[in-house]
Structures are given as C-alpha cells and as structure tokens.
Amino acid sequence: DRCSYCDFFSVPLIKDPTFSTIEYEISYVQATLMNIQNWSKLFGAGPFSTIYLGGGTPSVIDRRALKILIDDLEQFVDTDCEWTIEANPDSLDKALLDMLAGTGVNRISLGIQTLSEEEWPILRRVGSIDEAVQAIELLCEYPFELSVDLLMGIPNKTNKGRQGHSSIMNSLEYLIGRVSHLSIYDLTLEKGTLIESQVSSGKLIMPDSDELAEERDKVDLYLEGQGFHRYEVSNYAKPGHECRHNAVYWNMEPYLGVGSGGVSTIQYPMCEESQELGTIIRITETRDISAYIEAPMEIPKDIEIIDKKTALFEFLMMGFRTSRGIDLKRIKSLFGIDVEECIPSALKRWNSEIVRNGDFVALRPDNFDILNRFLVECLEELDL
C-alpha cells in the first residue's frame, strides 16, 4: 500500500506466468543495466561521479537481483563516486548492510518522515517507529554516510499539537549525533492522495503558513546550533557531508535517469537534437515495465526539447534553491547571456536579500521563504 501522502509512480510487481518473482526482478535489473550501457555509449557518459539508487525503494527487491545490479554498476563508477541507496526501515537488516558494505555503496538515505506516534498512522507508513529506531541504530554500526528524510507540516486531528514542542523537534533531538545529513520537506497535499481527501473532508487539519514558518525557523535555529547548515531549501548537512548527487540536479548538470519512468536531462551541445545554445533535452522512460524489460532501448520514449527561456528559468529556479546560488560564468557559457542583464529589476528589488560571492549570486539562506515570490518576478522579467 502507498503512504497516505504519496503520488510517486509505482506499480505492483507484475508476475509474468513464464517467470518466477526473482527471475522477473533480475530481468528488470538486466534491462536497466543495458539501458545504462547504451546511454553511456550514446552520450559518452561516465565514469559517473555520483550514483543514486532510488526514487523507489531498491532495498525491497530480492537481494540477489540487487547484488547483480550493484556488481554490474561498479564498472561505471569513478574512484571517488558518491553512491547512495534509498531504503525504508522495514526492509533494512544486517544481512543487507553486510552485503552493501562489501560494495561501492557508501551512503544510505533512509525514509523515516516522522518519529511521532501520532503522525505515523496518519502518514500510513509501513512498519513501525520501533523498526525505524532499530534501523538507525543498526546503521550507526556501519561506516555509511547516513541521511534521513523527515516531513514538516503533517496534518493532525486537532491543532492542539501545534502548541509548544513540535513533533519534528523530538525527531531531530533523537537523530542529532546519529546522522550527518537531513532532508526536511514540507508536506504537499497531492491531488488524489488519501491525506488530501482527509484534509478536504475536514478529518485532518493542516497547519497554517505562519505555524509552518515558525516551525521551520525553530528547525533552522536548532540545527545551526548542532553544527548543521542549510545548504538548500529542504536540506541540511554537517560541513563536508552535503549530498553531491542532489547538487547535480540543483546545478542543472547532465544526468541519466534509468529504469521504468526514469528521467534524463542532457544539455546542448551534448545532444544533436537540441540545436539552439541553451536548450536542453529531457527524456522520460516508459512506465510500462513489461515493455521496458522486453526492449529497454527500443520502446518509444517521451522526448521533450526545452527552449532557451524555459531552460534558463529552470537554472534560476534550481540554483536559487541553494545557499551557493547561481553560477554567473556557467550560465554565460551555456546560454551566451549575462543573466544579471536579464533580471535587473528582480535583483534590484530583492537586493537586501541577495548575497554575492565572486561569480555566484544567492538568496540569503535565512530568507528562503521569499524564494517563490522572487522567482515569479524573475520569470515575469525574462525576455529572451
């Protein structure tokens, strides 16, 4: 079953009568490896500086299939590769960690979301808080970098719980000293999810924007005092423990997304389909898993050419999410423009909230709450 807030692409395991479950999973893994091999040759990609196994929960597949995937991926990695695998507490055990410890995997991203007894059933998380705590304690016995995902702004049956010490602060107090990285997202009500219908019907109450802003301020202040810095809107790390893979997205660097539903983004001039300087191509793999297994490179893919203005706005949107900000030199080389000449009014209006550091322009991390308003003004002003 899905968690109550989840709208990610997922399907039940399709059991082809000619395959056992393990054979089906291995066939999917082999198709994915073939996909990586072919895309790497086509775009001259690799060795990879980061690998991220996730966007699903790879820890739930048969360990034999997972081992085949990881062993084969070894040929594509750089010597200093950051290699992350996502896991949920209920699918994590010593046998899996022992297996991973003997591979190139060096980072675990654990989906916890909350350690609140009240909020766990609201989110309909699989397993239990006890299992989550046991998984964290077990991970502390291994040399992996550990990142944990949490949610803020979880609705409840009354708003009395919003007063005083919030549940996320209790979660953080336990996690500090055990993790080096935290991703803390505001819960978004996605259309069609169970939690959205419960809020719409009045069964659950969402915190208002002021409560959420106050809670985020408490989180920022507490984590700063514990040696974490907010290096992106939703991400905190101890110095030197920032997620390098996420930075690939935020810096709008080329990346390959493989597997059913995977998304790749390739910039001009890497791909011939994108002719104008500054345009990018986005490729989405089929969501038909059986078709993907049968012919991963032959199945029609959704190919989108993103024009120069849209691509530039994506650069601004992703770059300004980070404390590092946008790289003026890189934008100049990719788009052939001076971005400060494209959005002068927005930069002038928000000048007191902007930090300049060499070739980088960023919003002050303590004022990330203005990000959406600032970006709207940037979009309105862009004229390419």
- Percentage of the chain beyond pLDDT 70 is 89
Residues 81 and 164 in one domain: yes
User: What's the half-sphere exposure (Cβ side, CA atoms, 13 Å) at 206?
Assistant: 19
From 119-128, 317-326, 363-372, the region with the lowest mean pLDDT: 119-128
- Percentage of the chain beyond pLDDT 90 is 53
Supply the pLDDT for residue 163.
45
Residue 9, pLDDT > 70, answer no
Residues 130 and 240 in one domain: yes
Q: Per residue in 106-159, pLDDT tens?
A: 999 999 999 988 888 788 777 889 999 999 999 999 999 999 999 998 888 765
Supply the CATH number for residue 112's domain. 3.20.20
What is d(CA 368, CA 320) in angstroms, rounded to the nearest whole number? 9
Asked if the structure places residue 201 within a domain, the reply is: yes
Asked if the structure places residue 297 within a domain, the reply is: yes
Pairing outcome for strands 229-232 and 235-237: antiparallel
Residue 56, pLDDT > 80, answer no
Residue 294, pLDDT > 50, answer yes
- Work out the pLDDT band at 164, boundaries 50, 70, 90: very low
Residues 344 and 300 in one domain: no
Asked if the structure places residue 363 within a domain, the reply is: yes
Residues 93 and 178 in one domain: yes
Residues 212 and 148 in one domain: yes
Average pLDDT over residues 184-204: 85
Residues 218 and 264 in one domain: no
pTM over 0.75: yes
Which structural domain range is residue 368 located in? 310-381
pLDDT, averaged across the chain: 87
Residue whose entry in the numeric block shows the structure tokens 């995977």: 262
> In Å, what is the CA distance from 169 to each residue of 126, 129, 152, 176?
22, 16, 10, 10
Last residue of some domain: 248, 276, 294? 248
Asked if the structure places residue 61 within a domain, the reply is: yes
Q: Per residue in 92-102, pLDDT tens?
A: 999 999 999 99
Asked if the structure places residue 56 within a domain, the reply is: yes
Residues 263 and 323 in one domain: no
- Work out the pLDDT band at 179, boundaries 50, 70, 90: very high
Residue 207, pLDDT > 90, answer no
Spatial CA neighbour of 352 closest among 378, 328, 330, 374:
374
Residues 347 and 233 in one domain: no
Asked if the structure places residue 29 within a domain, the reply is: yes
What is d(CA 202, CA 195) in angstroms, rounded to the nearest whole number? 11
Asked if the structure places residue 9 within a domain, the reply is: no
Asked if the structure places residue 238 within a domain, the reply is: yes
Q: Per residue in 228-278, pLDDT tens?
A: 999 999 999 999 999 999 999 999 898 999 988 889 988 755 455 545 667
Residues 294 and 323 in one domain: no
Supply the pLDDT for residue 137.
98
CA geometry: angle 95, 293, 36, nearest 5 deg: 75
Residues 134 and 32 in one domain: yes
Residues 92 and 223 in one domain: yes
